[in-house]
Structure 1
């Protein structure tokens, strides 16, 4: 009886161990090839799409639908994800033995819809550094005598549309004024022909109660510059020293992604980011990167995978970046926008970049591939902004009617 029990126990152990080994090897990509009768080793492609239910084409052949886990022999594949009514997503991906490679496709509508957020005509649109708020002025006119002044609209909490109505934080004719946001978006430093005023963005301050703080303007900007630099240092202090040096001394603008795992930056001088600063992660991106950076070009550095991608060779505004130091030295408030008609901003997925150019808005993957024109038409470039919702952008447009004042619209892209 004892021998039988021992035999049963050993058999159970062997069976469980064999099943566990098979499951482990299956997870590593081993598959039985029925045609050759051999066990082959594969890589794993985990592919997702938003929205899901899209078709997955591999080298031009329909294989499955999203979301899916697909074993593939080691090779380079052209992956295409397609869904009716949406732009196709395409990328060339290298699959390696025993590695899990993830690909996530955000699909955007072929025909996005617009819905108005303002109606009185707006000017001088500025986003706060954290993109949580958009400020603008409503000019004085015979149709809106009670609306002129500086307004703010929030881009947070948007399940259907903007859940919070725009609010006015000061009144008066501000056609020739300009302003700059504080780093935490709680204050605005307003400059008019009559003086400089510090405004609380959560309250309404009538022009009769605004206090001229012209003598303190430089010190306020200096304080804000210190706050911005302190926050940036805290965000990048865990990066390799070589990358931190580039971002602090050789970049003219730096904006982290919402999840702080990516860095969008414009180089101000040449540098080389050494290879293999961190141990390579299985399934890391196989897209071409560029570690020799050149001034004037914009890049994305992937903090987790230590990869550096070229995004743009042309000059562009980085939405969310404010150069307080330059404002102190030159005093030209318009430097916050400049004359550029191009901008680059993080999409809330943290895996995509929004690029604005004349008459179109493009969303690309963080590695510079898969550019998709999500909006093509009349709008006031570079005024297209992300919101916290993956489904919407905010744009400034007069819908092509040059005689009509421009307004802010919600652009539904998903």
Structure 2
């Protein structure tokens, strides 16, 4: 009998300990005030740059990157700060028995500006994948069509691999006067050279183009039509791929562009307001699809991390979270609003500006340094 009683006690102890360990692993903790075993959540916070201060409901908790455990389910105000950088703040929802991951990017308050070109830039076209910027140069000795590679994180100069001359002006053909259109797959550029005798060419974006064969006008027009249909088809296919909520969210929006990861799109509604459809809302995971209205702006361009957008309003450029929160001004001054594009690694933003129009007739490329 004693052996049986001991065995039963042993089994009960093992079962109880196993249950406690199971619930502990799920985030349950003892509330000594209420004398109850309550569920909690874990908050994992990472930031770029790291070593930023973390505040929960205005109470400092430490520096990133860090984990905060034993948080009761509910809403909290999370604030991330670092000297010299923008402050990030948002109300977050902690869910029981879950690890709630927050990824935050802080942007410098006073980013520096670096010159990229000095020759003057004429026409500009940005590839749909955001990797290449094609532009015209008419400066003596550099005349022709050039491309800038935004997938290389170094500041380019005219002797660097980030800048590639696609074709040089010839005695007969002034390529540096062309109109540019880049293919939906970002591999080719269609050019139209105006004049008494118009000329049309199709160039490769990844290499130099020596003596390209001209296109007939019918070929040029067919290529334009085919590319327009292909672009529209890709957008519609991506929208359908995100499900019925995305189809409903896209209704009534124009000029739709997708984030680099394909999980979100932004467009302009009939009231000229910009809206974002987010199939994977952040920073809290496992949340239903959301539609956000963005702050008033003239234009929005996706930032490379797909979690932010670059907006322009008047002579200001700012970065904002996809949900419209945490607006950070990064530039104020004259610029060409048609030419704004981030480097793929998020380190810089390309702009076109002319800071001395009295001396320079043409604008040049500059990089807004974010890190």
Contact 1:55 1:81 in 2 (8 A): yes
Q: Which runs of 5+ in 2 are unaligned?
A: 281-287
Contact 1:51 1:107 in 2 (8 A): yes
Q: Pick one of 43, 47, 50 that aligns with 2:48.
A: 50
Cα deviation, residue 256, structure 1: 1.6
Who is 1:221 aligned against? 224
Aligned with 2:229: secondary structure?
helix
Aligned with 1:237: secondary structure?
helix
Whole-Å separation in 2 of the counterparts to 1:73 and 1:17: 23
Cα deviation, residue 352, structure 1: 0.7
How many equivalent pairs are there?
351
Cα deviation, residue 407, structure 1: 2.2
Cα deviation, residue 174, structure 1: 5.3
Whole-Å separation in 2 of the counterparts to 1:37 and 1:13: 23
Who is 1:117 aligned against? 116
Who is 1:387 aligned against? 343
Q: Pick one of 238, 247, 257 that aligns with 1:255.
A: 257
Cα deviation code 1:376-399 (max 9, x no counterpart): 344333422112112222222334
Whole-Å separation in 1 of the counterparts to 2:110 and 2:122: 27
Q: Pick one of 11, 30, 33 that aligns with 1:32.
A: 30
Whole-Å separation in 2 of the counterparts to 1:400 and 1:33: 66
Whole-Å separation in 2 of the counterparts to 1:400 and 1:39: 69
Who is 1:192 aligned against? 193
Contact 2:201 2:212 in 1 (8 A): no
For the pair 1:169 / 2:170, whether they are aligned, the reply is: no
Aligned with 2:120: secondary structure?
coil
Whole-Å separation in 2 of the counterparts to 1:371 and 1:32: 40
Cα deviation, residue 51, structure 1: 1.4
Cα deviation code 1:156-205 (max 9, x no counterpart): 142x4457331122233456532111101111111221232222223333
Aligned with 1:230: secondary structure?
helix
Aligned with 1:218: secondary structure?
helix
Who is 2:274 aligned against? 298
Cα deviation, residue 44, structure 1: 3.8
Cα deviation, residue 50, structure 1: 1.2
Cα deviation code 1:296-344 (max 9, x no counterpart): 3321111233111112555xxxxxxxxxxxxxxxxxxxxxxxxxxx431
Who is 1:180 aligned against? 181
Cα deviation, residue 61, structure 1: 2.3
Who is 2:129 aligned against? 130
Who is 2:284 aligned against? none
Moved more, 4-13 or 233-242: 4-13
Whole-Å separation in 1 of the counterparts to 2:339 and 2:121: 12
Aligned CA distance change for structure 1 residues 80 and 400 (closer, same or farther; 3 Å): farther
Moved more, 46-55 or 13-22: 13-22
Cα deviation code 1:85-132 (max 9, x no counterpart): 211111123445555543321011123223333232212222111111
Cα deviation code 1:135-172 (max 9, x no counterpart): 111124xxxx22011110111142x4457331122233
Q: Which runs of 5+ in 1 are unaligned?
A: 268-293, 315-341
Aligned CA distance change for structure 1 residues 397 and 77 (closer, same or farther; 3 Å): same
When normalised by structure 2's length, the TM-score is 0.83
Aligned CA distance change for structure 1 residues 34 and 161 (closer, same or farther; 3 Å): farther
> Equivalences for 1:13-412 in 2 at 5 Å?
13-14=14-15, 16-26=17-27, 30-34=28-32, 37-70=35-68, 71-98=70-97, 100-140=99-139, 145-158=140-153, 160-162=154-156, 164-172=161-169, 173=174, 176-193=177-194, 194-205=198-209, 209=212, 211-241=214-244, 243-244=246-247, 247=250, 250-267=252-269, 294-304=270-280, 305-313=288-296, 342-399=298-355, 402-404=358-360, 405-412=362-369
Aligned with 1:236: secondary structure?
helix
Cα deviation, residue 230, structure 1: 3.4
Cα deviation, residue 78, structure 1: 2.5
Whole-Å separation in 2 of the counterparts to 1:92 and 1:376: 29
